[in-house]
Amino acid sequence: MHFLDDHYGHVDTSDFYRHCQNTARVVDPYSALAKLFVLPMETLPGGISRVRFLLVAAHQISEGLTMYSWMSHFLSLLNTPDSELSASLPKLLEPESFQKRLPLPQEDHYPPIRGTRARQRWFWTLTLILRHIRKPLPPAFPNPLRRLIPRPHAIPMSPTYDKTLNYTRTPPLNSFACQSILSPSTTARLHHLCHEAGVSIGSGCFALCGMVMMELEEARHPYTPAASRKPFIGSFPLNPRQFFNHHAALDSLMLAFSDGLVLPFLSSDLDPEGRFRLLARSAHRQLRIYQKRLRKEDEAKLGARSPGRVIATNYIAAVERAEAKLPPQLRTGVTPQGAYPANVNFSGATCGVSSVGRTDAMLKQGTYSLDGKEAVEKRFVADFRSLDMGVRVRDDEFLIGIGGSAEHVFVNVSYDANAIDEVRVEEWRRRMEGVLEGGETARL
């Protein structure tokens, strides 16, 4: 934990976040897998103060849903009396107690393949062959926000926070962020259209991202014939807990990945509401496959992308990636696929889209009252106001994170600024906020 007011009287949150993302690694895995920065306190009217925290955590232990669970618990700890916290410390710091509370890694939750040893081998054999013969997804149109010529090197940050951050190394690429909040009227319109189309809000958000990317692609390449337009493909992470039948607290990373979701290219000349409904229904059909609880009979389904094989195919892909990342002299040359290489998608997705759903069920303003008799008696009360999240990206990534409540939908984007143009990202943000609104802002 680091208190920034030991060194700085004022810290701009967005600027400090950008520096954390574009300097040497903040977390040293040999000492800790997370680091909490406490920004200088701001005094507000009425005896209230605002405190901002910035938590940097290794991706090995956290993802979006886990982070909301952690922040909810963190808020609870802030509202626990000092006497209770002090009394609990001796027990919590006992090695035996500490070991019991450590969450298991995701791999320890993988369900075993049912049946005899022969049946288990048959399952893995089928999975490998299905990865070999499966039909790849069609080529997608590339991200229209990309630069014509990528920057070869990251731009180093000025040493503004050199008392706290390490500026001796610059990452291979710049990882930048973009935040956007849909207005209450746009959010209400989104909810109405999703209800009208009979789809989930998550499917609607996926369709919204696809619509905006299609409009930007059309604006960048206006003379491409309609028959030559490629589809939008959004890669997306899955919450695999349902595949584990794991219903405990969201206390550690659990993540799986699909090949992607394909949406047909629709021209902006078409009615916006009609486009949205068609794309949302297409997204809903593809997403709901992964939203159902895994049944026993799903294991036997002969589909390379069936839910029953998601965990198995992710495991095989992880083994392949681990081998590929080794230096050539350390590679074993052994592949799980043997003589039957996997049939992969070579074109890549247009972008990544991830939805955490309704966040107000996990963390919301007003959980703890800052006024009234209870606040006076406690003398110290902390309540939640907002939470933004992002990741350090890899080459060419443009990762869209979506969540919200009944009143607002928020969008947090992390992107490779060496490959993606910041000016175009700002145009993307403007269109995301206006595509469902009436008037000129919805048009190109």
Who wins on pLDDT, 108 or 443?
A: 108
Mean pLDDT of 218-226: 96
* Cα–Cα separations (whole angstroms), residue 226 to 5, 218, 222, 229, 431: 57, 10, 10, 5, 22
* CB 53, CB 38: distance < 8 Å: yes
- Residue 309 domain flag: no
The pLDDT value given to residue 295: 59
Q: Which of 76-80, 138-142, 177-181, 308-312 has the lowest mean pLDDT?
A: 308-312
Record the tokens describing residue 278, joined without a space: 């068609």
Band of the pLDDT at 164, cuts 50, 70, 90?
very high
- Residue 331 domain flag: no
- Residue 68 domain flag: yes
- DSSP conformation class of 150: -
Looking at the DSSP bridge assignments, the partners of residue 414 are 177, 399
Say if residue 169's pLDDT is above 60. Answer: yes
Instruction: Report the DSSP pairing between strands 237-238 and 261-263.
Output: unpaired
pLDDT digits (tens, 9 = 90+) for 385-422: 999 999 999 999 999 999 988 888 999 999 999 999 99
* CB 286, CB 307: distance < 8 Å: no
- Residue 310 domain flag: no
Say if residue 444's pLDDT is above 50. Answer: no
At 219 the three-state DSSP class reads: helix
Report the half-sphere exposure of 372 (CA within 13 A, side-chain side): 6
The parent domain of residue 274 ranges over 2-110+136-295+346-442
Q: Where are the beta strands (DSSP E) in 39-108?
A: 42-44, 48-50, 53-57
The pLDDT value given to residue 443: 39
Helix (H) or strand (E) holding 404: strand 398-404
Band of the pLDDT at 442, cuts 50, 70, 90?
very low
Percent of the chain with pLDDT over 90: 65
Residue 380 neighbours by CB distance under 10 Å: 9
Average pLDDT score, the chain: 89
Say if residue 322's pLDDT is above 90. Answer: no
Mean pLDDT of 196-211: 95
First to last CA, the chain: 47
The pLDDT value given to residue 105: 80
Domain total in the chain: 1
Q: Which residues of 203-234 are buried (b: 16+ CB within 10 A; e: fewer)?
A: bbbbbbbbbbbbbbbbeeeeeeeeeebbbbbb
- DSSP conformation class of 174: -
* CB 260, CB 345: distance < 8 Å: yes
Mean pLDDT of 112-140: 91
Band of the pLDDT at 296, cuts 50, 70, 90?
low
DSSP 374-388: HHHHHS---------
- Residue 125 domain flag: no
- Round to whole Å and give the CA distance between 298 and 316: 19
Say if residue 25's pLDDT is above 70. Answer: yes
At 402 the three-state DSSP class reads: strand
- DSSP conformation class of 298: G
The pLDDT value given to residue 357: 86
pLDDT digits (tens, 9 = 90+) for 50-93: 999 999 999 888 899 899 999 999 999 999 999 999 999 999 98
Helix (H) or strand (E) holding 234: strand 232-235
Residue 2 neighbours by CB distance under 10 Å: 15
Looking at the DSSP bridge assignments, the partners of residue 36 are 55
* Cα–Cα separations (whole angstroms), residue 383 to 32, 49, 69, 75, 238: 27, 11, 15, 7, 30
